[in-house]
């Protein structure tokens, strides 16, 4: 067997294939009797082609063996031979018996899943949906305050800045006492907040994925910045006004409660702060603490290891003090707290959170990019009299103030 014989077989195969093609063309124009005869010839050619192909394959294998040496049996054939040999199986069954054979590698990390070879992997890798990323703080303070809209760049309002209340019972023939009221106008500018992202134009082809990232990174990222401004903003342009800024939320001032409590704890400080607000005719609507302080409040015990809980607190599904819900958030520094009537704070939007897509920013056109801008315009308004609706301080200061 040599290359000449292989070539002769290939020529015979091509001849039979031509006969098949001619017969198929002839069938289109043949009568019923002729069609039957031609179909027989086609079947005969197919059988002959199959036989010739098998001979050609055998010649090619022999030629390969003569070039590379004796052909080794594949792993499956070798394994089958071992396990159909009774003597070898008996030896394997004996105590400590073993048999050896070689497994021919058909795929390894170099040909499949080795780092940079993923693109040419034999077995296609599976893409798990979603993107792995570290969690961010979920905005929640914005759900506690009021929301409003404005059609201007400046918000104005009127406050009563002073009052002389002289109303009293008057004797017959005597004059009523005079009361005086003073009003002033206050104003607050609307500020700009936002950020932008650069994306390739081809990202727009996968719009669902891009929109998801805009919502998670663009919207929520901006919401967290707005929330931080509402919580602690300085009010100095371009920063919005915050509740805990100096001169707004009040420090602890427990009045006659100060110095009267034995071994006070975090619960006692929040209960006293609640009393401080109610004494000023405000009704607290929420308490904000850090998760670390929340854990500490859940675990007080006596010397016998029994958990302690004051009768004015509830550690159910929603922890509360005197019915006021306690929210845990990393917005508040560990060791600090904020309690107040959050309806006294209103966040006005001149423009809500908006997404804009530009293609002419800088050199975007040259690099086939888009610029995505996520922005808002807002102002956080807390009226001066309502500053007394909030108490923000540290637990350490509150404990010191209450301790006998």
What lies within 8 Å, CB to CB, of 157 at 6+ separation is 185, 186, 187, 381, 383
Torsion of CA 216, 219, 223, 226, to 10 degrees: 140
pLDDT band for position 387 (50/70/90)?
very high
In the prediction, which pLDDT does 275 show?
A: 98
Q: Are 160 and 182 in contact (CB under 8 A)?
A: yes
**Residue among 344, 233, 224 nearest 280 (CA):** 344
pLDDT at 69: 47
Which pTM was predicted?
0.70
CATH value of 142-146+193-402 in 3.40.50.720, 1.10.10.10, 3.40.1350.10, 3.30.2320.10: 3.30.2320.10
**pLDDT the model gives residue 119:** 62
Neighbours of 400 (CB within 10 A): 14
Query: Residue 3 has what pLDDT?
Result: 67
Distances, alpha carbon 361 to alpha carbons 195, 196, 201, in Å: 14, 11, 13
- Residue 315: partners with Cβ closer than 8 Å, 6 or more residues away: 298, 309
CB 288 within 8 A of CB 337: yes
3-state secondary structure of 351: strand
Region 350-369: mean pLDDT is 92
Q: Mean pLDDT score of the chain, rounded to an integer?
A: 86
- pLDDT beyond 80 at 117: no
CA 55 to chain centre: 63
pLDDT band for position 99 (cuts 50, 70, 90): low
Q: Which two tokens stand for residue 154?
A: 């400046």
Give the model's pLDDT for residue 335: 98
pLDDT (tens digit, 9 = 90+) per residue, 229-251?
A: 999 999 999 999 999 999 999 99
Residue 69, both tokens: 């040496």
């Amino acid at each position: 067997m040599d290359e000449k014989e292989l070539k002769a077989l290939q020529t015979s195969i091509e001849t039979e294939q031509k006969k098949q093609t001619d017969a198929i063309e002839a069938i289109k124009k043949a009568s019923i009797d002729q069609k039957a005869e031609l179909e027989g010839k086609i079947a005969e050619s197919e059988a002959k082609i199959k036989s010739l192909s098998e001979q050609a394959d055998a010649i090619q294998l022999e030629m390969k063996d003569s070039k590379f040496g004796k052909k080794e049996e594949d792993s499956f054939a070798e394994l089958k031979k071992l396990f159909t040999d009774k003597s070898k199986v008996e030896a394997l069954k004996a105590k400590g018996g073993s048999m050896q054979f070689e497994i021919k590698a058909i795929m390894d990390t170099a040909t499949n899943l080795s780092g940079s070879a993923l693109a040419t992997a034999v077995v296609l890798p599976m893409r798990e949906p979603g993107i792995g990323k570290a969690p961010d703080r979920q905005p929640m303070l914005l759900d506690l305050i009021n929301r409003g809209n404005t059609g201007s760049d400046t918000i104005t309002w009127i406050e009563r800045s002073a009052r002389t209340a002289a109303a009293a019972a008057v004797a017959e023939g005597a004059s009523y006492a005079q009361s005086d009221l003073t009003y002033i106008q206050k104003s607050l500018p609307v500020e700009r907040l936002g950020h932008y992202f650069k994306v390739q134009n081809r990202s727009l082809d996968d719009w669902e994925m891009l929109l998801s990232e805009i919502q998670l990174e663009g919207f929520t990222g901006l919401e967290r910045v707005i929330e931080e401004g509402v919580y602690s903003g300085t009010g100095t342009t371009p920063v919005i006004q915050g509740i805990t800024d100096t001169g707004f939320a009040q420090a602890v001032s427990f009045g006659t409660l100060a110095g009267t409590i034995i071994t006070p704890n975090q619960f006692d400080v929040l209960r006293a702060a609640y009393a401080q607000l109610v004494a000023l005719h405000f009704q607290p609507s929420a308490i904000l603490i850090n998760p670390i302080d929340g854990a500490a409040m859940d675990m007080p015990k006596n010397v016998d290891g029994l958990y302690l809980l004051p009768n004015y607190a509830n550690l159910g599904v929603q922890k509360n003090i005197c019915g006021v819900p306690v929210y845990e958030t990393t917005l508040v520094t560990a060791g600090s707290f904020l309690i107040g009537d959050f309806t006294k704070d209103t966040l006005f939007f001149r423009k809500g959170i908006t997404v804009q897509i530009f293609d002419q920013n800088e050199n975007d056109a040259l690099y086939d990019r888009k610029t995505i801008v996520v922005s808002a315009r807002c102002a956080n308004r807390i009226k001066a009299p309502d500053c007394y609706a909030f108490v923000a301080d540290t637990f350490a200061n509150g404990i010191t103030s209450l301790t006998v």
